């Protein structure tokens, strides 16, 4: 099998945490960091390429290790315009139950679970020790920080950010671009663009 070049876009904390997961998943491929303005040739032992140099590689694939949904969306369109394809980084201990699916560009970290009949959009980030339970529908460019508990039949709109250790009650709807704060306990629907925090979660934007 011919070795491929796989890029991880971003040398920040997200990218550096993802690289070891990618090495385990793709031991025979060349894994590099991609940065718009690299200030070093290496990061944590991996080569760092500029975006322009990476885009010249024939058959190069990339995933975007930037936790902020809005920035990830901008960079995804940039990558598509440059003709780059996307790939998923999936932890080797990821548990995926029946009839679950997600679109390209996902990063799913160790100790995570995707439940049965879950549908997930493009460029999903699911950080350490998080789960998505049965029958959830999750949009594009959604981020789960570590330890998110997303219970069954939850709907989450595009570009939402769910903070570390947040818990979402079954059947809740979270709107596009909403932010759920760290440790929040979400027991009511969250409007698009709202910021909520606390137990129970309350709006910080009204």
Catalytically active residues, by annotation: 134
Tokens 């440790």 appear where? 183
Spatial strand order in the sheet of 85-86:
42-43, 46-50, 30-35, 5-9, 61-64, 85-86
Alpha carbon distances (Å) from 33 to 40, 56, 127, 170:
11, 15, 19, 38
d(CA 83, CA 103): 18
d(CA 113, CA 167): 15
User: Does an H or E element contain 72, and which?
Assistant: helix 69-81
State the Cα torsion 170-176-180-186 to the nearest 10°.
-20
């Amino acid at each position: 099998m011919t070795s491929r070049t796989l890029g991880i876009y971003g040398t920040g904390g997200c990218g550096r945490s993802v690289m070891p997961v990618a090495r385990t998943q793709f031991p025979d491929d060349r894994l590099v960091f991609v940065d718009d303005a690299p200030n070093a040739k290496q990061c944590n032992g991996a080569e760092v390429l500029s975006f322009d140099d990476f885009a010249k590689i024939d058959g190069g694939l990339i995933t975007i290790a930037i936790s902020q949904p809005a920035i990830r969306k901008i960079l995804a369109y940039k990558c598509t315009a440059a003709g780059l394809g996307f790939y998923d980084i999936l932890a080797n201990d990821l548990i995926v139950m029946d009839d679950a699916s997600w679109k390209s560009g996902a990063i799913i970290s160790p100790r995570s679970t995707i439940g049965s009949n879950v549908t997930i959009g493009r460029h999903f980030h699911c950080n350490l020790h998080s789960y998505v339970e049965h029958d959830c529908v999750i949009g594009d460019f959604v981020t789960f920080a570590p330890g998110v508990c997303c219970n069954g039949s939850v709907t989450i709109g595009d570009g939402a950010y769910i903070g570390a250790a947040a818990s979402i009650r079954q059947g809740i709807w979270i709107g596009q671009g909403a932010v759920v704060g760290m440790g929040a306990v979400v027991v009511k629907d969250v409007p698009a663009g709202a910021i909520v925090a606390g137990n129970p979660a309350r709006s910080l934007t009204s």
